[in-house]
Amino acid sequence: MTDRLPGFSTLAVHAGAQPDPTTGARATPIYQTTSFVFNDADHAASLFGLQAFGNIYTRIGNPTNAVLEERVAALEGGTAALAVASGHAAQLVVLQQLMRPGDEIIAARKLYGGSINQFTHAFKAFGWNVAWADPDDIASFEHAVTPHTKAIFIESIANPSGSITDIEAIAAVARKAGVPLIVDNTLASPYLIKPIDHGADIVVHSLTKFLGGHGNSLGGIIVDAGTFDWAKDNKYPMLSEPRPEYHGIKLQETFGNFAFAIACRVLGLRDLGPALSPFNAFMILTGIETLPLRMQKHCDNAKAVAEFLSTHAAVSAVNYAGLPGDKYNSLQRKYAPKGAGAVFTFSLKGGYDAGVNLVSNLKLFSHLANVGDTRSLVIHPASTTHSQLDDAAKVKSGAAPDVVRLSIGIEDKEDLFADLDQALNA
């Protein structure tokens, strides 16, 4: 073994981790401590002044979390990453570095329902405005650009619809507008899509989903691609102007191609506070070790279930980008050739009531508001995650009244067919 670059499965197991220098522990230990002892007063001062890297306090950084950060940065091909308490915390911390009251973000209309809420209500209260664009109509992003635009936000594979986004086309719009492209890569995971290879400047994840993968721990992460020039035009003062709380240093000047990750840590996480528990970091790291195996099985099962449903008498339509006739099939073959993910929707001939009945009759599928678990999951978005939207907005976000969302697990596919069949016929 020489200077070969490690492959994805090797990185999923090893990136960022060393045997523990003190004990030799091979699995990454859970450093369940709030604080870290300084070597001496000078060491303490240099840590606080950002002149040296090291551990201070777990709200700002923790050695277990650091392994997770290095691992996901490696899997995504970024320069650095910052782990936080949830996917929503990641979105908040990213935008806090970019946005000031009166600024705008352009967001794809097809987003996770919780993100639509966060952008529409919580961010609005900060004076951050959102302009919605249609990911199937690239010109709608171009038309939404104004002098106040500070970022564009999309999902690589959209939740709940499972549609595939043309990342490169939207990255070109962002580049022309001089703003970063933020890609929520939760549903794809870097096993299926690496948005940085397609022009993303920042990648965010809900680690709660496929990366953790077992439905047992919340987490979020921000990956810095190291591609964006934050000092250009002084558009991003958090990164380009002297920071009074750090003796006047300029983050972009000092930290170069990982300045954004540093800003998220030392300005965002430090001041907003959504730190990830080291225990959750450990659980998620353990999940990531099997990401390539799980993700392939998720995709293979999902394709088989989509094929099964598309021939079922109670089903009017199946929207799975992995099916040859699907509207997103050519984008899937370009961006996610290993598989179209495991989250998709289908429509029932019986409408809203049939959706409610189906979720009540399924036995192996769990009816709950999550995706990316080893277990198969089901939800009826119109009566749950997207219930707060009006009918037109439900349809636009892929959550019409007759639509059911599945997140296919890693069980035996024949058992999934049987459960769906009995519930659809009930």
Bridge partners of residue 406, in order along the sequence: 344, 378
159 SS3 class: coil
Task: Kindly state the smallest distance separating residue 88's Cβ from ligand PLP, in Å.
Answer: 4
Dihedral angle computed from the Cα positions of residues 399, 402, 407 and 408, in that order, rounded to the nearest 10 degrees: -150
Q: Which is nearer to ligand PLP, 29 or 114 (CB)?
A: 114
Residue 294 CA to its chain's centroid (Å)? 17
Contact range with ligand PLP by CB under 6 A, out of 85-93, 143-151, 174-182, 287-295: 85-93
**8 A C-beta contact, residue 204 and residue 182:** yes
Applying CB under 6 A, among 129, 156, 163, 208 the residue interacting with ligand PLP is 208
Answer yes or no: are the C-beta atoms of 193 and 355 closer than 8 Å: no
State the burial class of residue 214 (Cβ atoms within 10 Å of its Cβ: 0-12, 13-18, 19+): middle
Q: Which of 16, 61, 78, 87 binds ligand PLP (CB under 6 A)?
A: 87
CA end-to-end span of the chain, whole Å?
Answer: 58
| Between 189 and 252, CB nearer to ligand PLP | 189
| Residue 161 is a binding residue for ligand PLP (CB under 6 A) | no
**3-state SS, residue 206:** strand
Give the residue with the Cβ less far from ligand PLP, 67 or 84.
Answer: 84
Which span (3-11, 27-35, 206-214, 413-421) binds ligand PLP, by CB under 6 A?
A: 206-214
Q: What is the total residue count of the chain?
A: 426
Element (H, E) at 161: none
The residue (of 155 and 224) whose beta carbon lies closer to ligand PLP is 155
| Smallest distance from ligand PLP to CB 211, Å | 10
**Residue 264 and residue 222 in contact, taking contact as beta carbons nearer than 8 Å:** yes
Among 31, 112, 346, 365, indicate the residue that binds ligand PLP (CB under 6 A). 112
CB of 259 to ligand PLP, least distance (A): 24
- In the set 220, 292, 339, 355, which binds ligand PLP (CB under 6 A)? 220
**Among positions 184, 326, 402, 419, the unique one binding ligand PLP when judged by CB under 6 A:** 184
Sheet of 403-407, strand order: 315-319, 343-348, 403-407, 377-379, 366-367
Which residues 308-367 are close enough to bind ligand PLP by CB under 6 A? none
A 10 A CB-CB count for 387 gives 12
Is 277 a binding residue for ligand PLP by CB under 6 A? The answer is no
- Binding segment toward ligand PLP, per CB under 6 A, in 84-92, 101-109, 129-137, 374-382: 84-92
Q: Does 400 bind ligand PLP (CB under 6 A)?
A: no
CB of 189 to ligand PLP, least distance (A): 11
Whether 152 and 182 have beta carbons less than 8 Å apart is answered as yes
Best CA proximity match to 278, nearest among 55, 24, 43: 55
Contact 131, 104 (CB under 8 A): yes
- As measured in angstroms, the least distance from the Cβ of 198 to ligand PLP is 17
If one asks whether residue 373 binds ligand PLP (CB under 6 A), the answer comes out as: no
Choice from 206, 252, 280, 332 touching ligand PLP (CB under 6 A): 206
Closer Cβ to ligand PLP, 71 or 209, answer by number: 209
**274 touches ligand PLP by CB under 6 A:** no
**Should residue 186 be labelled a site residue for ligand PLP when binding is judged by CB under 6 A?**
yes
Does 209 help bind ligand PLP (rule: CB under 6 A)? yes
Residue of 105, 154, 218, 408 that binds ligand PLP (CB under 6 A) = 218
Helix axes 413-425, 291-310, angle to 10 degrees: 40
Residue 238 φ/ψ, nearest 5 degrees:
-60, -30
- Sign (positive or negative) of CA dihedral 257, 260, 266, 270: negative
CB atoms within 10 A of CB 63: 17
Tokens 């650009």 identify what position?
145
Q: How near is the Cβ of 114 to ligand PLP at its closest, in Å?
A: 5
b/e map 265-291, b = 16+ CB within 10 Å: bbbbbbeeebbbbbebbbbbbbbbbbb
323's CB contacts (< 8 A; 6+ apart) are 303, 306, 307, 310, 329
State yes or no: residue 155 binds ligand PLP (CB under 6 A).
yes
Does position 86 interact with ligand PLP (CB under 6 A)? The reply is: yes
Closest residue to bound ligand PLP by CB: 87
Residue that the structure tokens 């037109």 belong to: 392
Nearest residue (CB) to ligand PLP, 208 versus 332: 208
| The binder of ligand PLP chosen from 12, 73, 83, 88 (CB under 6 A) | 88
Binding site for ligand PLP (CB under 6 A): 86-88, 112, 114-115, 155, 159, 184, 186-187, 206, 208-209, 218, 220, 371
